[in-house]
Structure 1
């Protein structure tokens, strides 16, 4: 997305075989020469990455994280990055699947953590020019809302995968959409699911609410609803199939 408008340098511990168009892989030191540095690393990897890059960053550099949780990485960046660099918290609320489906305008969360150079407004304008919908939200508000949107989606997707659900010739539209949720969430690394649950302080509340809601729905069923009868009881037999041995009218035999 940015590569069509800016020079984009990427770095990785391994050689990436297939890079997006317009992206150039370079050594870490060269990538950190850029005026704006985006961190696209796992949430759990943030402390180690920040300790590595902190002594290499030039004064005035803007560091932008893209983690799916916000309170934890913001705290780590404020603690581990030098005061001479600015910090912007971001969370693009879309991935490759959403981008391919052209679900525009795609939303992105932005929050100025440290904005001494005044680059936040410039970055915001850049994203707006790319057609993104800017949502300004504090890290605390983000994590609370994300737990009950993104967090619960990933939880449901993993639960569905654990049920070994498969496509069906008689699957309804609703069922097919459930499979889409399962496939989309489970296509992400398991590390992301674990990090979402571990590092968002509100996901425990979400999981507890999910468990309570499941129990509430389960309790809507009576003991008879939960029972699996071996056969249909006579008083529940379909019309016209009553047992004639009890003195009732015999079943119709097709003759008048």
Structure 2
């Protein structure tokens, strides 16, 4: 696969750029196209790919041509580039609707070009294909092709879960999974806006489920509104789904207005019956989500005054220092006398071993050798085991003899630290004095 040239039409932004970076890092020869030449040149330099603003030339050059433009222009771009894809090559798209792109690619591609409509079920913040769902919707003819086998094998070797369905079935399911979900949560966000609800203030009184809802609404409405508009407006299945949702909202509204308590209970029970065991799973998984919301804050509260590592969930950048305060929305750490304020929603607390590994790989390490006098009968290995709970430490020498007073031995410890090694030394000596040791040299 790595010998093939890949052309990504619309590869300077969003998921197209994500695939350009991912495939380039896997060793592929990647060309990206885009309308904005300045942005294209920037992406070319950033990712080490080739940029052109000529879609047709890119299509002619590519062994694999991937359409990665917004949904509202996908059909037009397919019509533009599909006729120029060479026989024996592969044409794909990665839009979130499949009926229209599938039919258009089949119609406009040359005989001998394999067509594999594709829908990656993740966004450009995803680190890799591992455990991600990728949906393929090829026709029977193209499913039998060598290209289909190669694409499916590549995705599965990268850890993706591949699902193969018909384009019509895909759009029906996505109309619910994406269309209904987005429609409902965007409607909730718009309702809260119309009601004049102060979102931050409301969280002071929030139940865990309300807080989860606010986070999900924020996640959706905080993303690209044009993409979400296209998902609503270009899936042919959406109209029926919207009408069904609104009719159910009106039904519940009518039941509430009539104060029909039994009617409300009946409707809710019927919905629960339809869910079956998924209702119980919903309780379990939402409990986990609620627990996750509080667990990290409780953990942080107990770590005040201690060293913590905080990893940014998008960039992967690590901040570490002494935890000074946590107020729900922000975490404040102190590093080299300076305070750093980080949003709790953007960082995760690193486990002790993870932070230790990161420091070993990224920070310079210093050490200090300190010789301590102990009575001869003291077992230095027991002392070392006790100190290892507090320090990164080893014994480099044990000496008895000349210049050592009778009944004593000298144990030389090496203490390691990434910074403030002098502070570590003071802390070490304080502990040593309390367990009967004394410094040999001053």
Q: Which residue of 1 aligns with 2:233?
A: 198
Write the distance in 2 (CA, Å) between the matches of 1:172 and 1:103. Answer: 35
Q: Is the CA contact (8 Å cut-off) linking 1:147 and 1:206 kept in structure 2?
A: yes
Q: Tell me: CA distance 1:20–1:75, structure 2 relative to 1, closer, same or farther (3 Å).
A: farther
Q: Tell me: CA distance 1:61–1:53, structure 2 relative to 1, closer, same or farther (3 Å).
A: same
Q: In the alignment, is residue 11 of structure 1 matched against residue 33 of structure 2?
A: yes
Q: Which residue of 2 aligns with 1:242?
A: none
Q: Is the CA contact (8 Å cut-off) linking 1:46 and 1:76 kept in structure 2?
A: no
Q: Which residue of 2 aligns with 1:135?
A: 163
Shift of 1:92: 0.7
Write the distance in 2 (CA, Å) between the matches of 1:53 and 1:187. Answer: 32
Shift of 1:112: 2.2
Shift of 1:12: 0.8
Shift of 1:18: 5.0
Q: Which residue of 2 aligns with 1:220?
A: 255
Structure (1 or 2) with the larger CA radius of gyration: 2
Write the distance in 2 (CA, Å) between the matches of 1:26 and 1:50. Answer: 19
Q: Which moved more, 1:133-142 or 1:157-166?
A: 157-166
Q: Tell me: CA distance 1:54–1:24, structure 2 relative to 1, closer, same or farther (3 Å).
A: same
Q: Structure 2 matches for 1:138-217, cutoff 5 A? A: 138-163=166-191, 164=193, 166-167=199-200, 168-217=203-252
Q: Tell me: CA distance 1:110–1:30, structure 2 relative to 1, closer, same or farther (3 Å).
A: same
The answer to which structure, 1 or 2, has the higher relative contact order (CA under 8 A, 6+ apart) is 1
Q: Which moved more, 1:20-29 or 1:173-182?
A: 20-29
Q: Is the CA contact (8 Å cut-off) linking 1:11 and 1:31 kept in structure 2?
A: no
Q: Give a deviation string over 1:52-80, Cα, whole Å, max 9, x none.
A: 21343222221111111111111111222
Shift of 1:138: 0.7
Q: Which residue of 2 aligns with 1:121?
A: 149
Q: Tell me: CA distance 1:36–1:103, structure 2 relative to 1, closer, same or farther (3 Å).
A: closer
Write the distance in 1 (CA, Å) between the matches of 2:223 and 2:60. Answer: 27
Q: Tell me: CA distance 1:172–1:224, structure 2 relative to 1, closer, same or farther (3 Å).
A: same
Q: Which residue of 2 aligns with 1:63?
A: 91
Structure number with higher strand proportion: 2
Q: List runs of 5+ in structure 1 lacking aligned partners.
A: 226-256
Q: In the alignment, is residue 49 of structure 1 matched against residue 80 of structure 2?
A: no
Q: Tell me: CA distance 1:223–1:196, structure 2 relative to 1, closer, same or farther (3 Å).
A: same
SS of structure 1 residue aligned to 2:137: strand
Q: Which residue of 1 aligns with 2:361?
A: none
- Normalised to the residue count of structure 1, the TM-score between the two structures is 0.76
Q: In the alignment, is residue 88 of structure 1 matched against residue 123 of structure 2?
A: no
Write the distance in 2 (CA, Å) between the matches of 1:127 and 1:21. Answer: 25
SS of structure 1 residue aligned to 2:131: coil
Q: List runs of 5+ in structure 2 lacking aligned partners.
A: 1-21, 261-442
Write the distance in 2 (CA, Å) between the matches of 1:176 and 1:189. Answer: 22
Shift of 1:224: 6.5
For these two proteins, the number of residue pairs brought into alignment is 223
RMSD over aligned Cα atoms:
2.6
Q: Is the CA contact (8 Å cut-off) linking 1:10 and 1:23 kept in structure 2?
A: no
Q: Tell me: CA distance 1:104–1:62, structure 2 relative to 1, closer, same or farther (3 Å).
A: closer
Q: Tell me: CA distance 1:126–1:47, structure 2 relative to 1, closer, same or farther (3 Å).
A: same
Q: Which moved more, 1:197-206 or 1:123-132?
A: 197-206
Write the distance in 2 (CA, Å) between the matches of 1:103 and 1:40. Answer: 17
Write the distance in 1 (CA, Å) between the matches of 2:158 and 2:35. Answer: 29
Shift of 1:196: 1.9
Partner residue of 2:138 out of 90, 97, 112: 112
